């Protein structure tokens, strides 16, 4: 079995993971419960035989020392911790054991004298499969509840971000017997290559990797399941409780999805607009999928979901900071997409987001160097220099994508031009002159623009914005018809809805895109192809930044939100329209303009 098979089993079926490298400590004796109750963060008084809990052992200053699960077995307490942490937990518990009647034993495999182990069975079918796979016993129904198995082991109910699981914990020989029986019965074995991305996506931190002795429990949300605020005293209680009632922390453990397949190293910095936001703590590629999942400790002002960059091998990669757990299913998993105009701006943001959501992306732009640079950042994408006004070049580029990937599922046509800097300045100057005349009560002059617009300027804008749009649609439609599926997203503009004086060529070209969207949608919806458009307002792109400065300020002021959009905000709408979430949306023009135009 491959790592791809194992990962899919963890996500969709059931897989077995040998986790005997964890640390195991047993606390026993008449004072075992009272001793632990006085120092750990969880309330153990109500925990009965056959039950368990998650708990912390903090430093007296309130920082994290150990994160562990504790199981009550008779009058004994079994604690298991992350790999390599057994000896440290044993030392901590032994250090605080003064004049109490209890024993602390290190049963970890790496202790020299320990012989315990653990096997985890994880997946949606873990519970239902247990009886027929291994022992004919009814698994526990409550998380941390456990029952005895042969050989002195315990069967413990677990959960991984909503996905059920079972752990077999105890003497290594008993654990190994159960593990081998499960594998013989057909359970897929998962190694670290599959389990690590699953752990990360589930939002489960490892002590010494994702959290350490400088971590406050609330920074990793450990107080949710591992701290009792009503039990009374425990080590580090003052800081932990003060933050809970009156304060806050300045950073949080978050999930990160990284575009492409390049894995950032531990400590790789996250940034946005040049500002440092934190760093990656662990990361792993998802087997068989062009994406990477990571955990990162980020500043509290980062409000998920937030688009950032992460440095990998000296280059910036697109990434998204999200709440944990990360969704394991990608919205464009396995799909092939073409994004035009993707050397920068909306197209580049869309290409990055699509790759992060599992798509294989072809990046087209008249700027071949820019297209290839975008593709290089996305890892696995292809970049091509394509002039969308040249229908033969468009057909050839689309055919190359089909030859490589055998299909095209999505077209996002973001290639476009505006009216040029010189014409923008003329529009601005003429508009200012009109305003001055109106304010002075003088005769209002004509802008004098449309009557002086020459044929070449008209044809250039219409050729790119309308002809190019049709050529790209025509090139992909035959392939989508053969598949009887596809999603086409075209880029209109709120200029077509508002009308902009002095820019008839741009307004007409974008109005044509809206009309083309409606015509194609009606023609091709019966064969499973959805065609829609996005009409952005002002967007912070290189094209927008070429407007005169007063025009840029005015665009932000026209929106009730008081700002323009980021390219990522438009890209997320394109993602929605490309995905199955928009399966009943056909022929629509989605306004993404911050309220500048409300239909």
Question: What pTM did the predictor assign?
Answer: 0.63
Q: What is the pLDDT of residue 556?
A: 65
Tens digit of each residue's pLDDT (9 = 90 or more) over 160-196:
988 899 999 999 999 999 999 999 888 999 999 999 9
**CA 466 from centre of chain:** 34
Domain boundaries, the chain: 3-202, 250-328, 336-592
- The partner residues of 310 in beta bridges, in order of sequence, read 270, 317
Give residue 553's pLDDT: 67
Give 297's contacts (C-beta < 8 A, 6+ positions apart).
210, 219, 251, 252, 253, 254, 278, 279, 281
Measured over the CA atoms of residue 231, residue 235, residue 240 and residue 245, the dihedral's sign is positive
Stretch 374-387: mean pLDDT:
86
Distance CA 28, CA 457 (A): 86
User: Which of 31, 91, 28, 30 shows the shortest CA–CA distance to 57?
Assistant: 91
CA dist 132 and 569 (Å) reads: 49
Of 198-202, 203-207, 403-407, 421-425, the range with the lowest mean pLDDT is: 421-425
Task: Provide the annotated active-site residues.
Answer: 506
SS3 242: helix
| pLDDT digit string, tens, across residues 208-220 | 999 999 999 999 9
For strands 382-385 and 360-365, give the pairing: parallel
Which of 120-129, 130-139, 416-425, 433-442 is the least confident region?
A: 130-139
Looking at the domain that runs over 250-328, which CATH code has it been given?
2.40.30.110
d(Cα 316, Cα 339) in Å, to the nearest integer?
20
Does the domain at residues 336-592 carry the CATH identifier 3.30.470.20?
no
What does the alpha-carbon distance between residue 200 and residue 295 come to, in Å, rounded to a whole number?
6
pLDDT in tens, 213-241: 999 999 999 999 999 999 988 988 888 88
Q: Name the residue with higher pLDDT: 74 or 567.
A: 74
234, 58 Cβ separation under 8 angstroms: yes
Q: How confident is the model at residue 329 (pLDDT cuts 50, 70, 90)?
A: low
- 404/506: higher pLDDT: 404
Cα separation, 355 vs 66, whole angstroms: 37
Contact 567, 536 (CB under 8 A): no
Tell me what pLDDT residue 353 has. Answer: 85
H-state helical runs in 364-411: 368-378, 391-405
Query: What are the φ/ψ torsions at residue 345 (nearest 5 degrees)?
Result: 60, -140
For residues 363 and 350, the answer to whether their CB atoms sit within 8 Å is: no
For residues 534 and 491, the answer to whether their CB atoms sit within 8 Å is yes
pLDDT in tens, 258-269: 876 789 999 999
Q: What mean pLDDT comes out for the span 372-393?
A: 90
Task: Give CATH superfamily name and number for 3-202.
Answer: Probable tRNA modification gtpase trme; domain 1 (3.30.1360.120)
> Tokens 């790999």 correspond to what residue?
83
Least reliable range by pLDDT among 16-20, 154-158, 318-322, 553-557 = 553-557
Q: Are strands 315-322 and 251-259 parallel, antiparallel or unpaired?
A: antiparallel
Which strands, in side-by-side order, build the sheet including 410-413?
Answer: 382-385, 360-365, 336-340, 410-413, 486-491, 529-536, 589-592
Secondary structure, 3-state, 286-353: CCCCCEEEEEEEEECCCCCCEEEEEEECCEEEEEEEECCCCCCCCCCCCCEEEEECCCCHHHHHHHHH
pLDDT single digits (tens) 450-469: 788 889 888 999 999 999 99
| Mean pLDDT confidence for 567-574 | 90
pLDDT tens digits, residue range 286-310? 886 667 999 999 999 998 889 899 9
Q: Nearest Cα to 359, choosing from 300, 289, 446, 294?
A: 289
On the question of pLDDT at 502 being above 80, the answer is: no
Residue showing tokens 């009730």: 560
| Residue 363: both structure tokens together | 């990046």
- For residues 199 and 6, is the Cβ–Cβ distance under 8 A? no
Flag whether pLDDT at 448 surpasses 80.
Answer: no
202-226 core/surface letters (b: 16 or more CB in 10 A; e: else): bbbbbbeebbeeebbbbbbbbbeeb
Determine the average pLDDT of the residues in 128-133: 73
Give the confidence band of 50 by pLDDT, cuts at 50, 70, 90.
very high
| pLDDT at 421 (0 to 100) | 72
- pLDDT score, position 17: 97
């Amino acid at each position: 079995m491959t790592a791809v098979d194992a990962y899919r089993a963890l996500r969709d079926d059931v897989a077995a993971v040998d986790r005997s490298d964890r640390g195991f400590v047993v606390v026993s004796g008449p004072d075992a419960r009272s001793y632990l109750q006085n120092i750990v963060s969880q309330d153990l008084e109500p925990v009965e035989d056959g039950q368990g809990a998650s708990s912390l052992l903090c430093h007296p200053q309130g920082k994290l020392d150990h994160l562990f699960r504790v199981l009550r077995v008779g009058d004994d307490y079994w604690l298991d911790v992350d790999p390599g942490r057994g000896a440290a937990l044993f030392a901590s518990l032994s250090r605080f054991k003064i004049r109490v009647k209890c024993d602390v034993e290190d049963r970890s495999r790496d202790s020299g004298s320990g012989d315990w182990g653990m096997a985890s069975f994880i997946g949606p079918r873990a519970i239902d499969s247990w009886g027929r796979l291994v022992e004919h016993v009814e698994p526990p129904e409550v998380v941390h509840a456990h029952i005895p198995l042969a050989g002195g082991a315990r069967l413990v109910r677990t959960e991984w971000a909503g996905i059920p699981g079972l752990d077999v914990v105890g003497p290594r020989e008993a654990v190994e017997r159960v593990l081998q029986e499960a594998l013989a019965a057909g359970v897929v074995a998962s190694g670290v290559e599959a389990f690590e991305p699953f752990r990360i996506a589930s939002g489960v931190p490892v002590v010494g990797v994702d959290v350490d002795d400088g971590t406050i429990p609330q920074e990793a949300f450990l107080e949710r399941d591992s701290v009792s605020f009503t039990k009374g005293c425990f080590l580090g209680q003052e800081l932990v409780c003060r933050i809970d009632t009156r304060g806050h922390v300045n950073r949080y453990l978050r999930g990160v999805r990284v575009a492409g397949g390049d894995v950032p190293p531990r400590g790789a910095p996250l940034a946005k607009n040049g500002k440092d936001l934190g760093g990656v703590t662990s990361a792993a590629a998802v087997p068989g999928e062009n994406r990477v999942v990571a955990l990162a400790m980020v500043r509290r002002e980062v409000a998920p979901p937030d688009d950032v960059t992460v440095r990998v091998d000296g280059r910036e990669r697109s990434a998204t900071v999200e709440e944990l757990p990360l969704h394991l299913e990608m919205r464009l998993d396995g799909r092939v997409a073409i994004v035009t105009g993707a050397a920068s701006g909306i197209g580049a943001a869309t290409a990055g987001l699509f790759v992060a959501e599992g798509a294989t992306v072809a990046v087209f732009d008249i700027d071949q160097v820019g297209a290839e640079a975008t593709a290089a950042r996305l890892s696995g994408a292809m970049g091509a220099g394509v002039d969308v006004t040249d229908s033969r070049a468009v057909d050839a580029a689309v055919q190359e994508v089909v030859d490589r990937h055998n299909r095209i599922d999505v077209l996002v046509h973001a290639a476009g031009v505006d009216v040029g800097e010189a014409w923008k300045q003329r529009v601005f100057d003429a508009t200012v002159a009109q305003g001055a005349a109106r304010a002075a009560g003088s005769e209002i002059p004509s802008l004098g623009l449309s009557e002086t617009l020459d044929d070449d300027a008209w044809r250039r804008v219409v050729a790119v914005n309308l002809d190019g749009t049709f050529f790209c649609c025509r090139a992909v439609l035959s392939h989508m018809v053969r598949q009887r599926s596809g999603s086409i997203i075209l880029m209109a503009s709120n200029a077509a809805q508002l009308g902009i004086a002095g820019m008839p060529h741009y307004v007409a070209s974008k109005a044509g895109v809206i009309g083309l969207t409606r015509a194609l949608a009606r023609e091709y919806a019966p064969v499973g192809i959805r065609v829609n458009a996005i009409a952005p307002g002002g967007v912070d792109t290189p094209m927008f930044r070429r407007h005169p400065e007063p025009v840029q300020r005015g665009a932000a002021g026209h929106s009730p939100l008081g700002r323009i959009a980021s390219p990522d905000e438009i890209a997320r709408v394109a993602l929605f329209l490309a995905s199955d979430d928009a399966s009943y949306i056909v022929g629509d023009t989605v306004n993404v303009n911050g309220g500048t135009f409300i239909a």
